[in-house]
Amino acid sequence: MEESLLAHVKKNNLGNWQIHELDDHLKDVAVAAEEFAAQFLCQDWMRASAILHDLGKGSQTFQNKIKLKSGYDPEASVKDGEGNAPHSTHGAVWAYNEWGPELGKVIAYLVAGHHGGLPDWFHTMGVGGSLEYRLKSDEVDNLPKLSDAFIKKITETIPVPTTIPEFISKGESEHYHIWIRILYSCLVDADFLDTERFMAPEKFSRRRKHSSMGILKKLFDAHMDYLSEKASNTPVNKIRSEILFQCRRQAKKQHGLFTLTVPTGGGKTLSSMAFALEHAIKHNKERIIMVIPYTSIIEQTSKIYKEIFHDENVIEHHSSLDPEKETLQSRLATENWDAPIIVTTSVQFFESLFAAKSSACRKLHNIVNSVVIIDEVQMLPTDYLKPILNCIHALTEYFKVSMVLCTATQPAITSEIFQKENGEYHAIISHEKCQEIMESPSPDELTAQLQRVQVEQIGKITEWYLLAEQLQQHEQVLCIVNTRNDARDLYLEMPKGTIHLSANMCGQHRSNFIEKIKKKLETEEPVRVISTQLVESGVDFDFPVVFRAMTGFDSIAQAAGRCNREGKLKFDGKPVNGKVFVFEPPKPAPHGTLRKGEQAGKTILSVDPEGCGTLRPQTFKRYFELYFSNLNTFDKQKMEDLLVKDAPDFNFQFRTAAQKFNLIDNQRQVAVVMWYEKEKVQKMINELQFKGPYRNLMRRLQRYTVSIPEIVFNEVQNDFKEIHGIWCQNADTLYDNVLGFVGYNGEIPITI
């Protein structure tokens, strides 16, 4: 009787050996991968990839190695079981040789990279072995041998992929790399899940315990009915109800790309979710993905959704602390976004779409056939805007994604701002492709109806103490500046009792202070706050007066959203507008996009003071066109050269592109654990020391981390202790319970 080939082997709780046969593994991975790919009609590609992905496990060398390492057969041939037993190259080589340099190359990327990550085609110094080398070099001859009978048995059932996606037929080569990553995601997730089903069945059995979209809608409707019953009958709340109604009504439209242009304070968080639920049910969408610009506000949004939909239906996916070294177990535990509601950051979402690692790409197929809400779309980093918009276009046009670009200040992303080689300009996403949800009342009408503030310029502030004198004339006032250094310097000029907010404070520290501020505002106590722009999105402050340092006009509008938010300000019993005062700070914004945003903000305030004063939507369009026209690039890391230029030949530099696509890249950041709530944090650090990093501990430590530029960290590295790759505070002088991290000389401009 022929001996079964092993894919995996383990001992059960009774000490008996259990075998996961290779034949069964290949067939089951193929079934799951085909199911994933059915959403975009590429089942044949996935069947071929899945059957080939572990072809190399059929070698005697691999079989002996797995038997030796597991202890299943200690007598296995030592000679054939020692050293390397690579198994991911065999299937890639077979596909490339059998099907040629196009079709076969696509399969080769998926199969060769299913553990180690999508490779580059060409070798790049310092990045690792290329796919070209693995397929064509003499190394192929040195791979562990497979019997002809085994190869024939496995490959005779493989269909030749014949499905040609529409964008390939059209020659839209900018989308090829997205397609390959999503195919890769299908294979990786199917492989991980089938392995988990055998290796950790108790974990596998807990997956997909989620409610249907229909049940989630009932929960949401009940919550909204409750809010409606207790809401006061104010003009602002009436307008919010109308926005909610329009979002529900427009959800019946065909899937595609939408914009939701609603003034700050109009209830976008809940209204956009109402649209998403109705739209998902209408068009049988699998999930809703909420993409938020800042980690600092993601927990607030997650908390709202978890209260409505229950914890098990909402995945909150962000991380500022993740050990770099991945084990099989940690990869299996990585979220694959199979819950119905995902709340994540724009960094996590878009960097995943340009990732190469299997753990980062695993979730991508679950973006297909979903509703994606991009909150505060104007904050997408302009240095990466071109590749990001290409992704948005691909997902909405070819992968059944409905995407809502949600903001009070729609950027001019449909404008002809991207230059072709012949000197002409074009738009990646045409205006006709964007469906505005707020048709009636229109964004212009909504802005007029929700007019609660007046923006005024007050000129140059030469010294911080002069601004401090003006701020002290107000009992309740918020002042937003451009950098952490500015926030600290201005705070030091303010009287005792002033509250400071910046990203020099850890998340728990900021949350505690934000709650303190809200309570003071609710009880109408005096409260003065100096903050960086971290409060401009998702923090529901309602100050009567806001001061804002000169910056991009979109940020000025976001700051205005913290002023008279509920429209409750009155004078002599009549409603009045809140005041937003824009000033030029003693120091300009740091060089780069912040400085150019500041310059464009100054220009638009001077050429259209009336539109700026009332925050008219057309003024934002003019601002963004002005701002974009001054930028040097929309593709700073040349993704086009790495992923598009040679795409017709299916030559991609996946790994290099992933390393370069870092949305937070103005300075290299180091995440450090700080001693805020010192006793509590030190207990967690001790736990890290003795138990090592694990998911629950990492999530708790995230609340006490601060990200600081590497150049700053190098000054104070001796005051930190590295524990399992995580830097933890180890000296009392680094953290202040008001200012947060203070372990630097203050001359390095760090923002947020």
User: What is the full DSSP assignment across 71-91?
Assistant: TS-TTS-HHHHSS----SHHH
What's the confidence (pLDDT) of residue 361? Answer: 95
424: CB partners within 8 A, 6+ apart: none
Count, residues in the chain: 752
Report d(CA 531, CA 130) in Å as an integer.
47
What's the confidence (pLDDT) of residue 83? Answer: 56
State how far the alpha carbon of 580 is from the alpha carbons of 473, 555, 602, in Å.
15, 12, 15
What's the confidence (pLDDT) of residue 430? Answer: 87
Cα angle for residues 668, 178, 328 (degrees, 5° grid): 65
What's the confidence (pLDDT) of residue 327? Answer: 39
Instruction: Tell me which residue of 752, 742, 738, 687 sits closest to 715, measured CA to CA.
Output: 742
Residues (pLDDT < 50) of the chain are 1, 81, 127, 320-334, 666, 748-749
What's the confidence (pLDDT) of residue 479? Answer: 98
State how far the alpha carbon of 603 is from the alpha carbons of 619, 621, 626, in Å.
12, 14, 9
Count Cβ atoms below 10 Å from residue 594 Cβ, excluding itself.
20
What's the confidence (pLDDT) of residue 210? Answer: 85
Instruction: Tell me which residue of 230, 244, 263, 260 sits closest to 567, measured CA to CA.
Output: 263
570-571 and 574-575 strand pairing: antiparallel
Q: 512-547: per-residue pLDDT in tens?
A: 999 999 999 999 999 999 999 989 877 889 999 999
645: CB partners within 8 A, 6+ apart: none
Amino acid identity, position 403: M
Q: Residues 260, 374: contact at Cβ < 8 Å?
A: no
> Using N-to-C axis directions, what is the helix angle for 695-702 and 678-691, rounded to 10°?
150
Question: 3-state class of 330 per DSSP?
Answer: helix
Buried b / exposed e over 517-547, threshold 16 CB at 10 Å, is beebbeeeeebbbbbbbbbbbbbebbbbbbb
Residues of the chain with pLDDT > 90: what percent? Answer: 68
Question: 3-state class of 561 per DSSP?
Answer: coil
What's the confidence (pLDDT) of residue 427? Answer: 87
**Biggest CA pair distance of the chain:** 96
Q: Residues 5, 21: contact at Cβ < 8 Å?
A: yes
Q: Residues 413, 234: contact at Cβ < 8 Å?
A: no
Report d(CA 446, CA 449) in Å as an integer.
5
At 384, list the tokens.
């990466």
Q: 693-751: per-residue pLDDT in tens?
A: 887 788 789 889 999 988 889 989 999 999 999 999 999 989 999 999 998 665 544 55
Q: Residues 408, 231: contact at Cβ < 8 Å?
A: no
Report d(CA 247, CA 243) in Å as an integer.
6
Cα angle for residues 387, 44, 21 (degrees, 5° grid): 110
Report d(CA 675, CA 471) in Å as an integer.
31
Report d(CA 409, CA 621) in Å as an integer.
8
225: CB partners within 8 A, 6+ apart: none
**Peptide bond just before 617 cis, omega within 30 deg:** no
